[in-house]
């Protein structure tokens, strides 16, 4: 499982929108790795932002 999958899985399991800092806490990944994974997920539209700086998996 790569970093992108780990980030997406953490978001799905949380059941609420998360910011990058919370994703770092839940996954144990480095902040730079999480930021890169979240950018990839944004580009592919696999996550959406219901409010500023918080993200959740696209329904």
Would you list the domain boundaries of the chain?
3-57
* Percentage with pLDDT > 70 across the chain: 100
- What percent of the chain is helix, strand and coil (3-state, nearest 5)? 55, 15, 25
Q: Is 48 exposed, middle or buried (0-12, 13-18, 19+ CB in 10 A)?
A: middle
Amino acid 27: pLDDT: 97
Amino acid 56: pLDDT: 97
CATH for the 3-57 domain, from 1.10.3720.10, 1.10.10.10, 3.30.70.380, 3.40.830.10: 1.10.10.10
Two structure tokens written together for 37: 């994974």
Amino acid 59: pLDDT: 80
Amino acid 52: pLDDT: 96
Determine if the pTM surpasses 0.85. yes
Residue 46: C-alpha distances to residues 12, 57 (Å) = 11, 6
Q: Which residues of the chain have pLDDT under 50?
A: none
Amino acid 1: pLDDT: 82
């Amino acid at each position: 499982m790569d970093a992108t999958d780990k980030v997406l899985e953490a978001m799905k399991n949380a059941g609420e929108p998360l910011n990058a800092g919370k994703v770092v806490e839940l996954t144990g990944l480095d902040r730079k790795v999480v930021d890169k994974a979240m950018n990839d997920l944004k580009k592919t539209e696999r996550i959406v932002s219901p409010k500023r700086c918080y993200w959740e998996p696209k329904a």
